Structure 1
Amino acid sequence: MMAQGGRLIVMAMVGCAAGIFLLGGLYPASSYVTENVFLIVIDGVRNTEAFDDTTHTNIPHLWNDLRPLGTIYSNFYNTGTTITTGAHLAMLSGVRSGLPHCIARGDDPLAFECYRKELGIPQEQIWLFDNNPDGFIGMDYSTHPAYGEEYASSSYHAYPRSDMHVARALAQAMDQYHPSLVLVNLFEVDRMGHQENWEGYLEAIRRADAIVYRIWKKIQADTTFNPAFRDTTYRDKTTLIVTTDHGRRDDMHGGFKNHSMRDRGCRDLMFLAVGPDIKADTVIETRGDQIDIGSTIAELLGFSLPLAQGRVLDEMLIVPPGKDESNGEVESRAVSSGWHPGPNRSLMDEVRVTDTDAMSRDPS
């Protein structure tokens, strides 16, 4: 299923019905309340203009309305490549990607594919939305021989249209298909940064903040916010994760126009999660990593990421009955012990973020 800039169109799917019976028994169904996960990536927002700004002027909804409902990580990092393609592949696969920008088809299975294959989820239940010019065309499935196009997500590529257009397309898909796993990339912040338009960059952050809040209100079917938000499919059973793929260079490394370096400005990420299994009004100082996002999504929805390097962000989870927080069971589904680096993978397993362009493999 793919659409570009217009109506959402259903295309033929292969093997979905069979997968429900043949592939659903590896792991028990998730014991969490969460039935849906929405991952929203505000592309290229530097944390100094987001959570690290004590005024929070650019993110009033994220900070004042959503933060009290959920958990933020105050030490959350991209320890791989600080570019759009590699960062999104890291989030979706749980593996740090060394792929250069715009070579989007990675070789590690993505959450989309694993969710579909393991639990027999039909294609229209999984969606990727973006308005990025070149970083997402191949991000709906991997080249891994056990996965691939048969288990692709649906996708909607809206470049050169606005973040608001992407949000409208998402709303249409929510009403029409009720997807249970969604990735949304909002590109305008990164675009304004690359244009070195400071005021445009800040305004794009504020627009993205409002869009995320609107999406949450639709998820919660808040008719006081919008009378059209009547569909209760997602209410109180959806986890929303809001983050960024990379930051931007700090002033010591060239300023906000670009990214792709190893300085703190590029690596330091905002991270917020809200949902029925997420602790409310919580700030966690334990270090989190971008590759932990895929593992956490897999944990919540009850499938595995077989090559994931990341861990489950269990500090933010309300552990359901039957799961022992102390014995590591929370991490068992999502993390494989058999991972070994392939030709395209970064080996930065224990990178310490520094204030310079230097890196250390010594854990912080």
Structure 2
Amino acid sequence: MKKLMLFMLCFGVWAVCFPQSGKTKNLIIVTLDGMRWQEVFSGADSVLINSKYTEDKDEVKKKYWSSSALERRKMLFPFLWTTVESKGQLYGNRTLGNTVALSNPYHFSYPGYNELFTGFPDKRMNTNDAIANPNLNVLEFINNQQGFKGKVVTFSSWERFPQILNTKRSGLPVYSGYVPVKNKDANARLSYLNEMQHDVPHYLGDSTRLDFITYEFGKEYLKQYKPRVLYLAFDETDDMAHAGNYKFYLDRARQEDGYIKSLWEMIQKDPFYKNNTTLLITCDHGRGNDPLDSWKDHGADVKGSENTWFAVLGPDTPETGEIKTPTTIYHKQIAQTIASLLGLDFKAFASHEVGDSIRTVMK
């Protein structure tokens, strides 16, 4: 362990010398758990709307239906298909041959988040149980670099992230489930959220909190502490899909698009973040599509649940919009991409394999 820590310290000094030619100084990462690429790129699915999985069909059609897929996706994700499309990039429209996929063979949450943040589809990470992740993650790596120490933070609805990001080893502040912000200088709003999260209905159980609370925590922490890397992990899209409630699944997706829009607009008004912050949005896994019932599920036995997507917006990302180039990108490449955006080289530092950076994300 002592040798490992010495190596981390020495390499950390080297890593900050890695030249940063871009404008990105800060990073916001958002994940929508289990959000299908189908809805991201085509909007609401008429087959699912007209199925047993949708109550209030007329209401859903009024909110989310158009004969045009381009209009449908904008109705569901207005921020993605206005601001991000015009100023950033979106990857994963398989109908155009642009493929984003998992490398891990399991296609559920813990293995997906492990791949996303370690750049490594480790076959040992094959459970959602509370097992500490032995793999170095890119957030931990960034937190050990000069200028980032204590400036990397995670807020998640699902309670498993302290193990996924191995807080006992990494020392990262990870506020998951109903964990409060205990900073002595926390502002009144953060203190209020600490109390309120226990008073709102526990629709997702006694371990997973509502995405609204996670969003509010992240927003207020951003205002007060100015972290350089903020990760927000939303969960309700996955919960509503597993429950077989397509209306609520769509509603939660639309709501989370609104949260992201609000955050982006807020940082564009803040001199600390304006014009030097990149936003990356993605998911941990996909869902099934055929047979119809498989839309509720994912996993190794569910065809199509390895198919994902991601979007990126920031000062170093070309304004390409929807990527239509036939190519395949894997989630294991996102960790190095995150580091590269900040001028760091996670791949050279990690003791395990790490996927190559996605070069088209950067100018």
TM-score when normalising by structure 1: 0.72
1:288 Cα deviation after fit: 1.2
Secondary structure of the corresponding residue to residue 161 of structure 2: coil
Contact 1:130 1:186 (8 Å CA) reproduced:
yes
Q: Show the counterpart of 1:218.
A: 266
1:20 Cα deviation after fit: 8.8
Whole-angstrom CA distance in 2 between matches of 1:262 and 1:310: 25
1:256 Cα deviation after fit: 1.9
The amino acid across from 1:97 in the alignment is D
Contact 2:294 2:302 (8 Å CA) reproduced:
no
The amino acid across from 1:31 in the alignment is S
1:304 Cα deviation after fit: 2.8
Larger helix percent: 2
Whole-angstrom CA distance in 1 between matches of 2:220 and 2:300: 37
Contact 2:18 2:345 (8 Å CA) reproduced:
no
Whole-angstrom CA distance in 2 between matches of 1:104 and 1:118: 26
Contact 1:112 1:141 (8 Å CA) reproduced:
no
Correspondence 1:43 to 2:33? yes
Correspondence 1:77 to 2:97? no
Secondary structure of the corresponding residue to residue 23 of structure 1: helix
Whole-angstrom CA distance in 2 between matches of 1:23 and 1:255: 45
The higher relative CO (CA closer than 8 Å, separation ≥ 6) is in 2
Task: Sort the Cα spacing of 1:308 and 1:173 in 2 relative to 1 into closer, same or farther, 3 A.
Answer: farther
For structure 1, the residue ranges without an aligned partner over 5 or more in a row are 1-18, 143-147, 222-230, 319-364
Contact 1:140 1:152 (8 Å CA) reproduced:
no
Correspondence 1:64 to 2:82? yes
Give the one of 250, 273, 276 matched to 2:289: 250
Correspondence 1:157 to 2:196? no
Task: Sort the Cα spacing of 1:22 and 1:96 in 2 relative to 1 into closer, same or farther, 3 A.
Answer: closer
Task: Sort the Cα spacing of 1:253 and 1:106 in 2 relative to 1 into closer, same or farther, 3 A.
Answer: farther
Whole-angstrom CA distance in 2 between matches of 1:292 and 1:103: 25
Q: 1:46-195 counterparts in 2 under 5 A?
A: 46-53=36-43, 54=69, 55-56=72-73, 57-74=75-92, 75-80=99-104, 81-98=106-123, 99=125, 100-119=127-146, 121-123=148-150, 125-132=151-158, 134-141=159-166, 149=169, 151-158=170-177, 159-195=207-243
Secondary structure of the corresponding residue to residue 138 of structure 1: helix
Task: Sort the Cα spacing of 1:262 and 1:119 in 2 relative to 1 into closer, same or farther, 3 A.
Answer: farther
Whole-angstrom CA distance in 1 between matches of 2:262 and 2:147: 30
Whole-angstrom CA distance in 1 between matches of 2:227 and 2:242: 32
Secondary structure of the corresponding residue to residue 40 of structure 1: strand
1:253 Cα deviation after fit: 7.0
Correspondence 1:25 to 2:14? yes
Contact 2:157 2:211 (8 Å CA) reproduced:
yes
Q: Please report the RMSD computed on the Cα atoms of aligned residues, expressed in angstroms.
A: 2.3
Give the one of 197, 202, 208 matched to 2:245: 197
Give the one of 307, 316, 319 matched to 2:361: 316
Secondary structure of the corresponding residue to residue 144 of structure 2: helix
Moved more, 155-164 or 55-64: 155-164
Contact 1:42 1:245 (8 Å CA) reproduced:
yes
For structure 2, the residue ranges without an aligned partner over 5 or more in a row are 1-7, 44-68, 93-98, 178-206
Whole-angstrom CA distance in 1 between matches of 2:241 and 2:303: 17
Give the one of 278, 298, 302 matched to 2:339: 298
**Residues 104-140 of structure 1, C-alpha deviation per residue, up to 9 Å, x if partnerless?**
52221011221123436322x01111111x4323133
Whole-angstrom CA distance in 1 between matches of 2:163 and 2:38: 31
1:201 Cα deviation after fit: 0.9
1:28 Cα deviation after fit: 2.1
The amino acid across from 2:234 in the alignment is L
Whole-angstrom CA distance in 2 between matches of 1:292 and 1:239: 17
Share of identical aligned residues, percent? 23
